[in-house]
Each structure stands twice: as structure tokens, then as C-alpha cells.
Structure 1
Amino acid sequence: MLDIAGELNRWLEEGRDFAVATVVAVSGSAPRGPGAALAVDADGTAIGSVSGGCVEGAVYDLCAQALKHGQAVRERFGYSDEDAFAVGLTCGGVLDILVTPVPADGPGRKAFQVVLSAAARGEPVALARVVRGPAGLLGRALAVRQDGSYEGELGGHPDLARAVADETRSLLGAGRTGTFDIAASGARWGSPRTESGGGSHCEPDLSVFVESSVPPPRMLVFGAIDFAAALVRVGKFLGYHVTVCDARPVFATRIRFPEADDIVVDWPHRYLNRTQIDERTVVCILTHDAKFDVPLLETALRRPAAYIGAMGSRRTHEDRDRRLRETGLTEAELTRLHSPIGLDLGARTPEETALSIAAEIVATRHGGTGMPLSGSHTPIHHHTEAHRSGSATRVGSF
């Protein structure tokens, strides 16, 4: 849903009633992953997409029904052998979709307002919604901030809300979108309920889907060369916050890198030592000079990063590898290095080289092989841990 946060925030500010359909689980080959969303307002205006076209019409109708009846619903869409072009995914995948009405006077409106406005400002925030459980709780939402505070309620169960907020905060801290379960426990959150036949039991287990909105991941480009200028453009296209760093002020200029978010004039290893990076950061070293490369890589390979790549010929790589071993880097640390940087696309120009680097970053991020799809038998859509979401459930409404 956060992929359309800006437009949904505008709908909230305008006081519109709307329903939002969100992909909460995927299995097999599917065009879009968990978090993809389609929203429909009371006038029938639609924004977003959940499937790239396969089931949009049916999901649109579900949104309209949810707005009319005021009830959340979970639906599964999958491949139909009898009629592959009926409502279903002809690619063979399965999507579980939660449809949540958000009327202007609804109890969950506040949580959506907090999340969408924070996401529009680029602030860390997460939306947690019940995707499996009692009908009265299905679709209920909490907005959870980085400090663990939250807005919203879960059917009058404050202990449950606190437990969900704690789990959600962990996912938010890792910048992840995913699903977790809350086990039934009277001592933890459930209030025992007496049935007409006597005895008591707690509320059933719940599954909660969390969408995390965090600042964009960082791309650190070291070396203010023409290849770097092309890589900056590709990095911005992929949604990274891009920083260019070079020790030479004559080259590290805004004129040469107008699309970079930050331009830093400093020795690369010194800047890397003092700047903040995390498990989503990608480090691209294009300096191609041992006096910059070796101290920079010694620092980079000992810090958390999703990807570390260095430009150079195979001979340069062999010399660099020898120098890095002399610094005391372990074999495990050295295996994190992608060198020579990029996939083998036969690239020649700076733009082609930037494309090969970006392709390797994407393949590393999602577990891709880099092989042509036409000649491989691997799944088209790789489900890395960050994109797995929930277990299989039966087809139909919940």
C-alpha cells in the first residue's frame, strides 16, 4: 500500500471514503509482491495495481463491495486450469489479497492517516493489519512508530495491541515488509470468553501483515568519473539515495553530478568510516586506484552492506585481492566483494557499464542468477526472505 502512499494521503486530506486492496502473501510466480496495492474511492476512481492487470477487475469489485458493506475481506486469486483467462493469474502464481474499507468515520482511519502522512514525509513508520483471525478483527490496523508508540486499536484488546506493536517495531527496524503470527494466550492478551454450553477459551490465533516505510536505501559511489555519473542516474531510477565521494574537489562537483543527492569531497575510507550504512546499503567503488581502493575496501568489507563491488580488470582484482589479504581480511569477508564489478553484458559505454552494475545489485538483492530467462529453468520471481509473506491458505473469502 505504501507504493501509493502519496496519492492515498491526498485522498485522506480530501476526506474521501476509500477501500484499499493489498497483496499480503504470494506463492509461485506472480507479477507483484507483498505490499502492492489497488485503492478505489467512493466515486469509483482507482489508483495502484495488485497484479499488473490479471485480476484488477475482480479486485476493483471487491473494493467497491467493501466500501458498500464496511467489512474487510481476504481473497485468494490463483491459476485456473479450466479457464486460464478467467479471473485468475495466468502466470501460475497465487496472490492473497486483503481488502480494507477506510471510511471517513471508520475506527481505522487514524492509523492510516498516521502511516500515510509519515510515509509522505519520508519518516520511518509501519502499518500492521490483521490478515487472519476473527471476522471482527480482520483488517484492523495499527500505525507503529520507530520508538514503539502506536495509533489505533485491535477490537478492545490493549494487550494484543501492545504485543502486535512490539513485533511490528522489530520488522520496522529491519525495514521489512512481512507477516508474523500472534499465538493465542489468555495470559498474554486474550480475554477468556464463555460459551453458552459452559467453559471458556481464548480468542484464536492471529496473523498480522506489516508494511514498513523507511527512508530509501543508500548507494555510495566512490570515484568521480564518467562511469559514476551514469551509475548515479541508474541508482536514482532504482530508488536509492545516492552519494558520490571523491578526494579530488575538481572532479566531485554538482555540475558533473547534478542528480546525486550528496556530493562529498573527502578520502573515501575516511568518509565511509564516519557515515551511516546498514544492511540495505550498496557500495560501488569506481576509483580504480590502489591507494584509494585498498583502505576503502578494508573498511567496507568489515561493515554491514547489502552489496560491495569494485571496478577493475582481472589483473587489478588479483593485485587488489593480494593487498587485501595482507591487511588481515578473512576469507569470509573477501567473499562479500563483487570484483570485477557488474554482470557480463559485454558493456562498453559508461551507461552500459552502469546497467551491468545495477543488474548485479538487483540479482544479489533478490537471489537472481544473472542468466537469460529463456535458457534457464529457475523461477522468474525469486522469493527472498524479505518478500516471503505468510503461509498458504484456502481459496476464497475469509
Structure 2
Amino acid sequence: MEFRLLGPFEAYQDGHRVDLGSRRQERCILAVLLLEADHLVPTDRLIDLLWNGRPPASARRALHTYIGRLRASLAPYAVRIRTGGDGYLVERGEHTIDADEFSALAYRASGTTDPAERVRLLDRALALWRGPVLAGTADGDLRERLHGPLEELRLTGLELRAEAQLALGRHLRVINELTPLLALHPTREQFAATLMTALYRGGRQADALALYRSTRRTLVEELGIEPGMRLREVQRRILRDDHRLDRPGRPVYEVRVRDECLPWSVGGHPALEFCNTFAGWGHEPPLPGSEWLREYRTLAVWTGHVGLTDDAAVSRLIDLARRDPEAAAAELDTARALRTRLYACLTDPGDRPAFEAVARYAEAAARTLVFRRDADGRGRWWPDLSAGLRLPVHAAAWSAAELLADPRRFTIRACPDRRCGWLFLDESGMRRWCSLATCGRPAAAPCQVA
């Protein structure tokens, strides 16, 4: 059976449309279960969604009746609704669900480096959207509560496709596609940055700069924040008539060192940048592009880029990794484990196990440090080359220890948007959000001081 949730809720069997019944409550229950197919949905959550937090006293009895009717109507199509614990589960089996197909295509697209293939996959994914999720079945409140992750993935897919179109030299198409999208999502900074680049490539420098001003005004007036580094960087390059803006093939607002794409430095300290990712920690599954530590070489280059080691050490690390890829992969796993512990430690000062774990990494790093004179005459601590492939882990751990011992540690904030979670220093105590395109939801909770 084929279920279509990305638009009006429909079901098909062998190409023929199946009547799912006229009772809105039953259709909503089935839609919720399909959106989480093969996962148990607690009864309390179903009740909360169905009655929008205001259930009648008979809600559980009514829900049981609805489930019974659904089972009877779906049985001829081999769609099973199981009871497990205090909840219900739809078995995916051989059935297809357009929301699942969309997600799979979007993640495949994010994993390819070929812009033409990325556009092809994203075109297929985005073509599955026929309108708002569950149009005609769920009301506005329920749809807003259900479609958040899917809508975020759709917007991320549109961003990735626009970047790929730019890489293919199709700036006019990007202008036509992004102009109405930015009008609908005026605080989406990545839309604005890509559209500014496309306008510049189309000989419309004045329009690109005007777009920057209007986007900045919206961010300041609606969210109380200045544009992030990506948007400011595109504006700076337009003002300087930077030739890189005219070069298709790569995003102009990325940090690229030794042909490695590194995260933007927006946190204010290397230990924070080590924790930060493109799209954050709070989205399951992670959004495309959220993992910047793709391979050991990236970690080594980043360590040199943020000044935790020197360029000669980076070259040596890359050579060592090339000769022993299995050992390099193991050290990359260790770095990711350190990152997880450090993030927990920085966002929850009361997490003693996380602090102790970071402390062990830092103590091991301290045993390998050497004090050396820099070119400017100052002395500083450097990780010893004798650490071999473990050097970047030691460098990151030493930087983490330095931050944990710094009074500024108490000015660390975590972006409150659950799809983001970027860490940044805020010594002014004024900034509520970080600068990523996924942030800035007015309804989000206030930022917590870590």
C-alpha cells in the first residue's frame, strides 16, 4: 500500500485510491502512526495530539474505538496496527510512505559531492511535496506540531539544491526559485546568502546589497540579532568585487583550508568550534551537513586552522593518516567521543561524569605539551609531534581545559533552538541566538547560560 502524507492525506493500492474513511480523528491517528512507522507512539501523545492538549474524560476509550475501526478498515490491505506497552505502532512492512522516501532522497543528496546528482536527487525528493503536510486532515495546530522536522528538512533541501544550482552556473534559475522562498522565510540567512551570490553573478550587485540590507533589518527588528558570519562574508565579498563570487563550483560562504570544508568560527573559542556543527545536535536524525568531522584529514586541518598546532605538524599528520588509515579512523572516533563529552560538560556545568571524562583527556594531553617560542617572540604550549596521530585529540583537549579554567566559561550560551544548539561566548549577556539559518524562532525558549 502507498501512503501519501506530504499534501492531502491519500492511500493507494495497486494504483487505485483507497477510501480512508471520513472520520477526521481516525485519519489523524493513522497519519501520526505512519509518520513514526515501526516506532511505538505512546497513548498519551496520541491523545494530546488528537485533542490539542485538552482531552475529554472519555479520550482513552474513544482512542481505543478509533484504533479498532482503523484495524478493521486496513486489514484487507495487510496494514497492521500493533499494541505495545501503553501505545500503538504501525508496521511499515512492504508499504511505502512518501515522507520516508523524501527523507531518504534528501539524505542521499546531502552525501554526494556531484552537484548535478544532488540536484537530480533533490528534484525527486521535493517533487513528492503536493502541499502542506496532511492538508485537509490535520488542522493548523496539529500540522504545526507534526511537520516541524519534515519542513526543516525540506527547507534544508531547498538550500542544498540552490547551492548545487550555483555550482552548475545556473544563477538565473536560483534567482527565480529563491526570490519567492525568501519572501516566505525572510530570516533564513542561507537563502539570502545564496540569492545574493546569484544576483551578483547576474550583474545585479545593487540588488544583492539591497537584499542584504533588507534581510539585516528583518533580523534586527524581528529577532534582535545581527546577520551571521556567512551573510556578512557574502556582503563583504560583493563590496570588494571578490572574483571568488563569480566562480561556480563551491559555496562562497564556507571556510575552505587545504581543500577541506571547515565550520565557521562563530563560537569565539577553539573548544566551542570543536563542539559546533553546521546544523546542531538536537535534530534526530541529524540534518544534512551536520557532521563536519568527516575524516581524519579534516580534523588535522582544522587543528592547524584554529591555531592549536602549526602548519608543519598538519602536513605530518596528513602523511601519517595516509600511511595508516585504520589508526587515523580510530583517532577520529576518539575525537568525536571527546567532543560529545565536552559538549555535555559545557551545556550542563553539573554534569560531573562529563567533566571528569574531559579532565582525563586534558591530563593525557598535558603530558605531551612542549613550551616553544613563536615567530613573534612569545612563548606558548604546543602538542608534541611525538603524540603522532593522537595530536589533534590532545590539542582539542588542551583547548577544552583552557576554556573550562577561564571565567568566560560562565558566559557560554547554547542556542535554544533544539535543531541547533550551537555554543558561543556572550560576555555582553545580550545575545539570545546564534547566527545559523536554522535559528531565530520567536517562540523558542530563552537561551540558557551554560
Report if TM-score (shorter chain) is over 0.5.
no
Tell which has more relative contact order, 1 or 2 (C-alpha 8 A, sep 6+): 1
TM-score normalised by L of structure 1: 0.28
Q: Which has the higher strand share?
A: 1
